[in-house]
Structure 1
Amino acid sequence: MPLDAQALLAARAAKLNADLSDASAEAILDRILRDEGIGDLALVSSFGAESVVLLHLVAQVDATIPVLFLETGMLFPETLRYQRQVAETLGLSDIRLIRPDSADLFLHDPEGDLHDRDPETCCALRKVKPLELALQPFEGWITGRKRHQNPDRAALDVFEVDGGKLKMNPLARWSREDVSAYMDLHDLPRHPLVAQGYASLGCAPCTTKVAPGEDPRAGRWRGQEKTECGIHFAGGRFWPATR
């Protein structure tokens, strides 16, 4: 993206952050989903432990918004069933299953064990590259990231710029208690694995249960320094195996 266009986008994100600094998630979503000047948007959802809250909020404004779901080929069967249940319950009519390129998998993960050998590259070819390609038609995207989820997100803005696109985090200021209370208030379906001790959900080989008192994301890439899959690395993409 040209520097002047990047600067304009950054200025727009800053203005939106200022204008909506005290706005509720509902008000933020109403603004961005009804503002034609923002352009075409997609919602990116993992259909994980907390995802149903943002999906429900968006569905109240526009249930036809494209929802991009990264079907990595390594998700829990329960997640796949939950995705279908939530989409039907909320009336979401444009769920797009985003899958990794079969040629990439054949070349770099023919045995399906790349997650053990090189988890960064596994995420790159199963999540980062497919999502970047799927986002190309859109001017911006909506995520469910929250400041409470890990230290790297503690200063998360509601509006930011990533990869030449406007990225929006309307639940950035929400706490775990806010999420739980919203689910209870609207009687939203919970991911079935949460009750079994999975507090944060990703691909099955890289996700474990958490013990009482543990950080909810302790079960993601347990025993490694890795804390993110890579799709939220601002300023660039990480495709070591596919470039």
Structure 2
Amino acid sequence: MYLGAAVAVWLFADVGPAAVTWLRQLGAALVLLAWRRPPRAAWRGRVFWLSAVFGLVTAVMNLAFYESIARLPLGTAVALEFAGPVVVAAVGSRTWRDILALVLVAAGVVLIADVRWSGSALGVLFALAAAALWIGYILLGRRVAAVGSGADGLAVGFAVATVALWPLALGTGPVWGSPRLLVLGVGVGVLSTAVPYALDQVVLRRGVGRARFAVLLALLPVTATLSGLVLLAQVPTVPEALGILAVVAGVALRSGDETGEPP
């Protein structure tokens, strides 16, 4: 996922975050439609509308995330964004570990936001918007998996989002004259959307509860920080590193017993 995000950052020099978001949706939709070839039932009724809303929420979440990493280091933006999944995981907390996990995550978010607020307040706001939208991704993704559409639902949802957000394509002009940029743009869709989101659906369809799934997602600030360091030479400051570690510590403390959790 964050190899794709690093490629997206490289693309920002030629096209804006909104245009890269649309290319990501296009690439993911084309790959998933060719692979899954959703049946007619996936394009009708409640299944279709659920997939469509899921696709749109996911696309807007990606847009907010790309706007944030255009202004913030990758690991910092992801640590802020994944406050959303941890909130989902901790809803209905009953133990001191859950409460302490929330405190740690909140402290990490505040620490990171305080470091970045003066330099890029807009980047912080975009990352927090992505965090709120990620909650919708988790809840809607669970429902898409529950109705049995899975990867077919992803294909339909991303196709709908690609069409609905076509105005974002107006900024993709330079891409169509450059095979390199086009390959990178479609590659972002495959790396950051088609593969990881399809795997999400596999995990969700195996009956993993919302809380446990959210915890697994919230481990990603670590991989994002490493990707930013290795691929983009983004070295976190000491306060940023402490904030990221606080988020990770909160994830580690989060109790993981979701036996019998409703979908």
Please report the TM-score for the alignment, with normalisation by the length of structure 1. 0.27
Q: Name the structure where helix makes up a greater proportion of residues.
A: 2
Q: Name the structure where strand makes up a greater proportion of residues.
A: 1
Please report the TM-score for the alignment, with normalisation by the length of structure 2. 0.25
